[in-house]
Structure 1
Amino acid sequence: MAVRAVRGAVQLERDDAGHMDEQVSQLLTAVLERNGLVADDLISVWFTATPDLHSDFPAAAARNLGIVDVPLICAQELDVVGAMPRVVRILAHVESHLDRSEIAHVYLGTAAALRKDIAQ
């Protein structure tokens, strides 16, 4: 068993708490499913949001999925001119039998443009 890092992102259509919960939940679920993981495999998760998202904490979606005993933290992305708006990113640290090269990083919808080199 090794510690691995899994990246992911999703672009929201609007800054709305319900929409954020739905989209971040889909992102977390996809990260777990595509890597053959369950919540007990999570060590910690970092969430970042672009400065234009104010409606809720992205980590609330994890709690709503029942991920309640994993350390979670939220931070704000750098406010870079021309950056994609309304994006939530994650960096999850997990225990996995997968080799580093087998990890599936998940970029949903239009967020796939952020990392075409690793988006699954």
Structure 2
Amino acid sequence: MSAIDPEIAGQLASDLPREDFVRILRTFEDDLGRLARLLEEAVAAGDEEGYRRSAHSLAGAAAAVGARRLEQVARIAMDHRNAADPRALALQVRQEAAQALAELSALAEHPPGAS
């Protein structure tokens, strides 16, 4: 199973000029990496509000680019009713973010429909 929903990436690729598609993917790469780091830093500092805020931002960014598994883990992390260990969820976020980032990078290098 891919970390990035190919339908969303394909739709973006078909709707946008190639250079805009690549620019957007690079922006998401930066955002996902930064937000995953912020979530980990909040866990390390015991900052529950920062943890949930980072998870919320991460879920939104992941959804926009079709990183479904990352979005799901981030949504679990942002749910205050969830009793899961934040350190374990932060590790899952990092793993899913790494996979999504690798796929975003590959898409930026070889966008769908590029010759």
TM-score normalised by the chain length of structure 1: 0.33
